Amino acid sequence: MKTATDLTRRFALAAHELRQQLPPATLQAAIHRHLDRAEAAPPRRPWAAWLGWAGLSTAAATLAIALVVHSMLPADAQQPATTADADGFVRLVSADEWQRAQGDAARTWVVNTELPQARLAALGLPYDPARAGERVPAQLLMHSSGDVLAVRFNR
């Protein structure tokens, strides 16, 4: 039992030392005033944070839907259609520009050249990827402005 009384005495001494460590009364009053002001502050609005997350999630969902719809479009809607004329030229410009070029035939000319086979894929034409580095003889129908209006491949 000696240890129980010894422990009680030590607790009493510790409590006395702790009471002596308290701040002065003026400082305690200032601390309490500050705590009272903090309690009187307007409460946080958790719904405001929720609205921010809702806007972000709406934007992400909209982007995801747009990507899905874009991927579901037919391939011909995503890439411009290439059409070949009776003379074998594949148009590279819109129908309006083609009509203007046909009306102004004095300002267009045919240029002989060679293009890499990989260029066929860019024009939407079939090609062999194993021969992508090989060159293909072609003729370009060019406007005097430097625009390439059409291409014809000579195989």
Q: Give tens-digit pLDDT for 53-90.
A: 777 788 888 888 888 887 887 655 444 445 556 677 88
Residues with Cβ within 8 Å of residue 131, at least 6 apart in sequence: 117
Can you tell me the distance from the alpha carbon of 115 to that of 155, in angstroms, rounded to the nearest whole number? 12
Residues 58 and 94 in one domain: no
Domain limits at 134? 90-153
Q: What angle do CA 88, 89, 91 make, to 5 degrees?
A: 140
Cβ atoms of 90 and 150 closer than 8 Å = yes
In a domain, 76, yes or no: no
Cβ atoms of 137 and 154 closer than 8 Å = yes
| Predicted pLDDT of residue 121 | 76
Last residue of a domain, one of 36, 71, 106: 71
Q: What angle do CA 25, 33, 14 make, to 5 degrees?
A: 40
Q: Say how many domains are in the chain.
A: 2
| Predicted pLDDT of residue 79 | 47
In a domain, 85, yes or no: no
Q: What are the distances in angstroms from CA 52 to CA 42, 45, 47, 87, 137?
A: 20, 12, 9, 60, 59
Q: What are the distances in angstroms from CA 95 to CA 100, 108, 115, 123, 150?
A: 9, 16, 24, 16, 11
In a domain, 21, yes or no: yes
Cβ atoms of 86 and 102 closer than 8 Å = no
**Confidence grade of residue 12 (pLDDT, cut at 50, 70, 90):** very high
pLDDT tens for 34-56 read: 888 877 766 666 666 666 777 77
Is-above-0.85 flag for pTM?
Answer: no
